[in-house]
Amino acid sequence: MTIGSGDVDPSQSFGGGSPARSSASNQVPNQVTFSRRELNRIFDLYGRKVAAGEWRDYAIDFLKDRAVFSVFRRSSETPLYRIEKDPKLARRQGAYSVISATGLIVRRGHELDRVLRSIDVSLSVVAN
Banded model confidence at residue 12, pLDDT cuts 50, 70, 90:
very low
Q: Are strands 2-3 and 7-8 parallel, antiparallel or unpaired?
A: antiparallel
Three-state DSSP at 71 gives: strand
* Mean pLDDT computed over 59-71: 92
Structure confidence at residue 50 as a pLDDT band (50, 70, 90): very high
Residues 6+ positions from 126 with CB-CB distance below 8 Å: none
